Structure 1
Amino acid sequence: MRVAIAGAGNVGRAIARELLDNGHQVLLIDKDPKALKLESVPDAEWLMADACEITSLDNAHLNTCQVLVAATGDDKANLVTSLLGKTEYGVPRVVARINHPKNEWLFDSSWGVDVAVSTPRIIAALVEEAVSVGDVVRLFSFKKGQANLVELTLPDGSSCIGKTVEEIELPEDAALAAIVRDGRVITAKAHDVFAAGDELLFVASSDAEARIKSCFITS
């Protein structure tokens, strides 16, 4: 898979190294000569250019990329790059970094963004997930499909303990993706039995998310 990353700062380079380690081709784009630290990611392609300009993206052959990551420190630049990548080059998957939470509402499909990543929101969700038992915690939002990845840790008094997966009727537009138990990830099957302390991972719409708790926790 060929991945273009706009923004060769610490974030962009870290993403590039991870992707290269996983066997992908990576192109790093940045207009600042000081950001072109070729020795830091020697296996990547490098291009000194402004990712907000069509000519630069032509030179990057963006039409050959399966993924575009807009990872600069400027939200405006990330939005423009995302929009150009999606509308002008038809990049199948566009991932954009949100630097300032107040701009989060802009990062959606109208700007070509499939997945928006907000570091403050992720950290807050992980904190909630670590301390919340019996509450539904949103971990991540999939902008393209208007769905969320949510987590629920079963407390000792959960009404579903001892019941099987097929015995629990979930809301429409909600699916149990996995059960995390004793550090192991279990693909949820119909005859799996719920136990106290299970971390349940769901993919759900926002409306269904609000109703998941009532399926597992009785007041």
Structure 2
Amino acid sequence: MRVAIAGAGAVGRSIARELVENKHQVMLIERDLGQIDPAAVEEAEWVHADACELTTLEDAGIESCDVVIAATGDDKVNLVVSLLAKTEFAVRRVVARVNDPRNEWLFGENWGVDVSVSTPRLLAALVEEAVAVGDLVRLLTLRQGQANLVEVTLPTHTPLAGRPVRDLALPPDSALVTILRGGRVIVPQADDALEPGDELLFVATAAVEEEIRAAVVDAARG
């Protein structure tokens, strides 16, 4: 997979290293000459240019990329890069970093963003997930804000213990995709029994999250 990353700061470089280690082709685009350091990610292609300029993206061959990641520290830049990548070059997947949670509402289909990642929101969600047993926690927004990844950890004493997955009365537009149990990742089957401490991961639209809360959280509390 060929991936272009706009922004070669600490975040962009970290993403590039992970992708390179996973055998992907990576191109880093950075306008600040002081951030250009090919030795930091030797396997990546480095481009000194402004990713907000159409000619820069053309010269870099963005149209051949499977994914563009807008990872700068400036939300305005990330929005412009995302819009150009999607509308001018029809990049299949555009991922954008949200620096200020107040701007999160902008990072959607209208600006060419397929997936937005808000570091402050993600950190807050991880804190909630670590301490909120028996409650619904939104971990991540997926696919242009149309669905979310939400989590419920079943408490120690739950009426759901021993009951099969098929007993969960989930609403439409939702699915239980994974059960995390100890060190195991379980693909849930209808007859699998639930256990205290299970982490249930659901993909669901925001509109049905309250119904999931009623079906799982309230039932888990008895």
TM-score (norm 2): 0.96
In 2: Cα distance, 1:56 partner to 1:39 partner: 23
In 1: Cα distance, 2:167 partner to 2:144 partner: 31
SS in 2 for 1:77: helix
- The answer for the alignment partner of 2:10 in structure 1 is 10
In 1: Cα distance, 2:122 partner to 2:112 partner: 21
In 2: Cα distance, 1:158 partner to 1:66 partner: 45
1:184 deviates by 1.2
- The answer for the alignment partner of 1:102 in structure 2 is 102
Is residue 2:90 matched to residue 1:85? no
Q: For each residue in 1:77-134, what CA deviation from the matched residue of structure 2 results, as whole angstroms up to 9, or x when unmatched? A: 1000000000000001000011111111111110000111110000000000000111
1:161 deviates by 1.6
After superposition, the CA RMSD in angstroms is: 1.1
Q: How does 1:126-205 map to 2 (within 5 A)?
A: 126-144=126-144, 146-205=146-205
- The answer for the alignment partner of 2:66 in structure 1 is 66
In 2: Cα distance, 1:62 partner to 1:110 partner: 20
In 1: Cα distance, 2:58 partner to 2:181 partner: 48
In 1: Cα distance, 2:158 partner to 2:47 partner: 55
In 1: Cα distance, 2:191 partner to 2:52 partner: 52
User: Which segment drifts farther, 33-42 or 142-151?
Assistant: 142-151
- The answer for the alignment partner of 1:39 in structure 2 is 39
- The answer for the alignment partner of 2:119 in structure 1 is 119
Aligned AA (2:195): A
In 2: Cα distance, 1:33 partner to 1:14 partner: 18
In 1: Cα distance, 2:69 partner to 2:10 partner: 14
Aligned AA (2:56): S
Aligned AA (2:150): V
Q: For each residue in 1:40-89, what CA deviation from the matched residue of structure 2 results, as whole angstroms up to 9, or x when unmatched? A: 11100011111001100001100000000000111111000000000000
1:145 deviates by 5.7
- Taking only the aligned residue pairs, the percentage that are identical comes to 58
In 1: Cα distance, 2:156 partner to 2:145 partner: 34
In 1: Cα distance, 2:84 partner to 2:33 partner: 23
In 2: Cα distance, 1:125 partner to 1:5 partner: 25
- Unmatched segments (≥5 aa) in structure 2: none
In 1: Cα distance, 2:163 partner to 2:151 partner: 19
In 1: Cα distance, 2:191 partner to 2:143 partner: 32
Change (3 A) 1:75 1:62: same
Aligned AA (2:198): D
1:14 deviates by 0.6
8 Å CA contact 2:116, 2:144 repeated in 1: no
Aligned residues: 219
Change (3 A) 1:99 1:38: same
In 1: Cα distance, 2:84 partner to 2:140 partner: 25
SS in 2 for 1:8: coil
In 2: Cα distance, 1:142 partner to 1:206 partner: 11
In 1: Cα distance, 2:6 partner to 2:182 partner: 39
Q: What stretches of structure 1 move > 6 A for 4+ residues in a row? A: none
1:3 deviates by 0.1
